Amino acid sequence: MSTPATSAAPAAPAAAPKAPSSPFMNGNVIDGKAVAAKIREETAAKVAELKAKFGKVPGLAVVIVGERKDSQTYVRMKKKACEEVGIASFGADLPDTATQDEVLAVVAGFNANPDVHGILVQLPLPKHIDEQAVLGAISVEKDVDGFQPLNIGRLAMKGREPLFTPCTPLGCMVLLERCGIPIKGKRAVVVGRSNIVGMPAALLLNKRDATVTVVHSATPKAEAEAICLQADIIIAAAGQAQLVRGSWVKPGAAVIDVGTNPIDDKTKASGYRLVGDAHFEECKAVAGAITPVPGGVGPMTIAILIRNTADSGERFITGAVKVSGAGRQRKGLAKLIPTREQLASPLPLLAAAVGVAAGAVLQRATAGRR
């Protein structure tokens, strides 16, 4: 007799993606505070070593224009972080009525100050001040925020490295790396294309050999979802509360949430709570790793800032000021004929050399391009 046919056993349900094993993760949730604390600890050790060997410490100058409460809060946090690791703090607190030339003069002063190794201009600036002109005036060797055009340009170029990288995007990369999440050869999607986070994050992922796609406000929502579903890594930086849903996330993908958005919540004394650009609970149920808001990317921004400042201080204090593949330290004219060894000086320094107000020079330079 023939054996009766038996139906195939039902397929076992797919196992839940296993989160990377890391001391900086609780299940599949990345602890940004713990990673940031480790970076601060490493930075404090470097600062202490510089002080012991050379009797000097790195210095950070913060320029703030106006009285925005959020900006004032951020500046206080940065000064406190400097104190905790032994970095010297310098500051210039200018009124809303400060002119662009006055801001440029302050930046030029810090450029020339040998005790200042990092300069940060707190954004946003008042509308009457050209943000790009001010950022472009910061010495490339002291641009610890990473927004000076030369640093951004080097970040975008193959075979070049910037002296400094914007702190929040670099913080995202460090979170991935410290948690053992691979980037090379992976598909990465950046949601958002801002100059502060989105585009630098895409450039950093590209430098780390990921295959990168950027989706933004002009990308149809259905298409954005389909693209994200293919990603091994999603950087959510659109500035839109809970835009990235669980249905957008491939099982096991890493979701790095840069957003900080207030939404109404009557259960809170403040009447609101902070959420990210990703829907945390939905995405957490699918992702292999995810950052919370708050407590994820946020703590990394200041940690990277003080690390950048310590690195800059080390270059100046040791006399190295050495850049690998990113260009050279600005030199004085040794010859009457300019060479590639001589980087262009910031506008305020050129203006001061010829006794002309920087704002007037900028106005004349741009008049012919309008």
CATH code of the domain in which 199 resides: 3.40.50.720
pLDDT of residue 345: 52
**Cα dihedral 140, 145, 146, 148 sign:** negative
Mean local confidence (pLDDT), 13-19: 48
**Are residues 131 and 188 located together in one domain of the fold?**
no
Write down which residue in 147, 178, 196 finishes a domain.
147
Strand, helix or coil at 308?
Answer: helix
Residue 27 lies in a domain: no
78 in catalytic set: yes
**Are residues 126 and 208 located together in one domain of the fold?**
no
Give me the number of domains the chain comprises. Answer: 2
Query: For residue 336, is pLDDT > 50?
Result: no
Write down which residue in 243, 274, 300 finishes a domain.
300
Catalytic residue among 31, 143, 145, 277: 145
Residue 129 lies in a domain: yes
Residue 311 lies in a domain: no
**Are residues 122 and 215 located together in one domain of the fold?**
no
Mean local confidence (pLDDT), 274-287: 98
Q: Which residue has the higher pLDDT, 225 or 359?
A: 225
**Are residues 183 and 271 located together in one domain of the fold?**
yes
Mean local confidence (pLDDT), 30-35: 98
**Are residues 120 and 83 located together in one domain of the fold?**
yes
257 in catalytic set: no
Strands lying side by side in the sheet with 118-121: 88-94, 59-65, 118-121
**Cα dihedral 350, 352, 356, 358 sign:** positive
Residue 364 lies in a domain: no
143 in catalytic set: no
**Are residues 180 and 292 located together in one domain of the fold?**
yes
pLDDT of residue 347: 53
Q: Which residue has the tokens 């940060």?
A: 120
**Are residues 125 and 197 located together in one domain of the fold?**
no
Residue 155 lies in a domain: no
Q: Which residue has the higher pLDDT, 74 or 86?
A: 86
Catalytic residue among 78, 142, 207, 250: 78
Q: What is the pLDDT of residues 131-141, one digit of tens each?
A: 999 999 999 99
Contact 79, 91 (CB under 8 A): yes
**Are residues 226 and 99 located together in one domain of the fold?**
no
Query: For residue 25, is pLDDT > 80?
Result: yes
pLDDT bucket at 346, cuts 50 / 70 / 90: low
Residue 284 lies in a domain: yes
**Are residues 183 and 106 located together in one domain of the fold?**
no
Write down which residue in 300, 330, 352 finishes a domain.
300
Q: Which of the given ranges, 6-20, 150-164, 282-296, has the highest pLDDT on average? A: 282-296
283's tokens: 């995405």
Residue 62 dihedral angles phi and psi, to the nearest 5°: -115, 125
Range of the domain at 271: 165-300
- Where helices occur in the chain by DSSP H, the ranges are 32-54, 69-85, 100-112, 131-137, 149-156, 167-178, 198-207, 221-228, 280-284, 298-318, 347-354, 358-367
Taking the C-alpha atoms of residue 29 and residue 34, their distance in angstroms, rounded to an integer, is 12
Residue 319 lies in a domain: no
**Are residues 105 and 76 located together in one domain of the fold?**
yes
pLDDT bucket at 204, cuts 50 / 70 / 90: very high
**Are residues 138 and 171 located together in one domain of the fold?**
no
Task: Write the CATH number for 108.
Answer: 3.40.50.10860
pLDDT bucket at 22, cuts 50 / 70 / 90: confident
CA distances 93 to 4, 103, 116, 127, 176, Å, are 87, 10, 16, 17, 36
∠ CA 127-128-129 to the nearest 5 degrees?
90
**Are residues 172 and 135 located together in one domain of the fold?**
no
Residue 336 lies in a domain: no
